[in-house]
Amino acid sequence: MSRLRREEEDAAFERGRKKAADDLDRLKDLSLFIASLIVVVMASIASLFALLVQGNPPWAAPLLTLIVGGLLGYQTGKSQKPKNGA
């Protein structure tokens, strides 16, 4: 087997390995995002329900404020990231 052929096979193997690792990272990120989204939506619904139906429990307003602040902070940080991927 020639040296060039061996280098091409090694490069193809590395590209495949890098693609598999990138796919796994994307799956982890998506799973974490979905789990976090479910928790935030459930906490928001519980807080709104408690505020609107049960009166004014001491935990509902701060929790809702924390969720809204977190979402605003996420959007602000997301808009400030460079677009070139650096």
Q: pLDDT, tens digit, for every residue of 12-71?
A: 989 999 999 999 999 998 998 899 899 999 999 999 999 889 888 898 889 989 998 988
The pLDDT assigned to 83 comes to 64
The distance in angstroms from the start CA to the end CA of the chain is: 39
Segment 50-66, tens digit of pLDDT:
988 988 889 888 998 99
Give the number of other CB atoms < 10 A from CB of residue 69.
Answer: 10
Distance CA 37, CA 28 (A): 14
- Whether 85 shows a pLDDT value over 60: the answer reads no
With the CA atoms of 10, 16, 18 and 22 taken in that order, what torsion angle do they form, in degrees rounded to the nearest 10? 180
- Whether 78 shows a pLDDT value over 80: the answer reads no
- Is the pTM for the entire model greater than 0.85? no
Eight-state DSSP code of residue 58: T
The pLDDT assigned to 21 comes to 92
